[in-house]
């Protein structure tokens, strides 16, 4: 397995479409690109995340207001990790359309303890000390806590001709606000309808003509979308509806 990239910046553009658009697009990607190392046998793999936020949801509230700069803190695993498994603790930043990720490998237990105490663990060869110090600053200033679990299935491709080009297709997004542990399974409430796909095209270079032409011909257009942002707005709606019901019964 290749060494994980810990620090990188790139443009990311998102698209949302249905099953009708997914089939020919996936066929095209398979003809021009190579499946991700995690797509064993061409099958999708699971990405599971825990997003951290302040008690007042400051991080996501600022994010959904669409500022020029925003950042998120999350713990990520490929699949459902077991005790001792490697995971990524990362800060995802976005400024004027450029997305940057700064992350370090930790064991599951090291990541939980670090996120809870803000005390950097004993540095080991697989860790990125500089990134851990940046995350520590975020932990000590914002004091975030686990807020939501988000998992989804992913198909991903990369280009052998264009080293920065990567395309991922996510679907079956599920979330929960209890059991905020990566090892607790990847079940949750569906965030999107059936056969809805979220594609991200990530590159530092101009997109190839074959891809631009296909997107145009099939009317697949860029869309602003955040999984955590959508989950937060959905949860906010549920909380407001419950508050209205509670107030009604209290006054009845």
2: in domain:
no
pLDDT, greater one: 193 or 32 = 32
CATH code assigned at 117: 3.20.100.30
Whether 183 and 108 have beta carbons less than 8 Å apart is answered as yes
1: in domain:
no
Residue-number span of the structural domain to which 201 is assigned: 7-251
Q: Over the stretch 36-57, which tens digit does the pLDDT of each residue have? A: 989 988 899 999 999 999 999 9
Query: In which band, very low, low, confident or very high, does the pLDDT at 167 lie, cut at 50, 70 and 90?
Result: very high
- The helix or strand, by DSSP H or E, that contains position 167, with its residue range, turns out to be strand 166-176
187: in domain:
yes
104: in domain:
yes
Query: Mean pLDDT for the chain?
Result: 90
The pLDDT score that the predictor gives to residue 237 is 83
Q: Over the stretch 57-102, which tens digit does the pLDDT of each residue have? A: 999 999 998 888 999 999 999 999 999 999 999 999 988 778 889 9
Q: How many domains does the chain have?
A: 1
- The two tokens of residue 217 are 């011909």
* Rounded to 5°, angle at Cα 13 from 152 and 56: 60
User: Helix (H, G, I), strand (E, B), or coil: what is residue 193?
Assistant: coil
Dist CA 68 CA 70 (whole Å)? 7
Whether 168 and 156 have beta carbons less than 8 Å apart is answered as yes
Residues 6+ apart with CB under 8 A from 202: 10, 11, 12, 99, 164, 165, 166, 167, 168
Give percent above pLDDT 70 in the chain.
91
Q: Smallest Cα–Cα separation from 149: which of 179, 128, 127?
A: 179
121: in domain:
yes
Query: In which band, very low, low, confident or very high, does the pLDDT at 117 lie, cut at 50, 70 and 90?
Result: very high
Q: Is residue 33 pLDDT above 60, yes or no?
A: yes
Q: Over the stretch 197-239, which tens digit does the pLDDT of each residue have? A: 999 999 988 899 999 999 999 999 999 899 999 999 999 886 6
Q: How many Å separate Cα 23 from the centre of its chain?
A: 23
């Amino acid at each position: 397995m290749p060494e994980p990239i810990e620090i990188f910046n790139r443009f990311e553009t998102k698209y949302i479409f249905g099953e009708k658009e997914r089939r020919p697009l996936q066929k095209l990607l398979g003809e021009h690109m190579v499946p991700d190392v995690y797509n064993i046998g061409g099958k999708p793999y699971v990405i599971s995340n825990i997003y951290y936020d302040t008690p007042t949801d400051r991080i996501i509230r600022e994010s959904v207001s669409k500022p020029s700069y925003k950042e998120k803190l999350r713990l990520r695993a490929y699949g459902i990790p077991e005790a001792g498994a490697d995971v990524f603790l990362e800060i995802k930043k976005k400024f004027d359309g450029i997305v940057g990720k700064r992350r370090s490998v930790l064991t599951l237990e090291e990541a939980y303890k670090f996120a809870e105490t803000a005390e950097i663990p004993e540095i080991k060869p697989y860790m990125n000390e500089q990134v851990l110090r940046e995350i520590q600053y975020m932990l000590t200033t914002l004091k975030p806590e686990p807020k939501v679990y988000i998992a989804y299935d992913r198909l991903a491709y990369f280009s052998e001709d264009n080293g920065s080009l990567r395309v991922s297709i996510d679907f079956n997004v599920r979330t929960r606000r209890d059991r905020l542990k990566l090892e607790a399974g990847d079940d949750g409430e569906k965030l999107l309808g059936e056969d809805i796909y979220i594609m991200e095209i990530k590159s530092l270079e101009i997109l190839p003509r074959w891809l631009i032409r296909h997107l145009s011909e099939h009317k697949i257009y860029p869309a602003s979308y955040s999984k955590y942002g959508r989950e937060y707005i959905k949860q906010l709606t549920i909380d407001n509806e419950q508050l209205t019901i509670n107030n009604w019964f209290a006054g009845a």
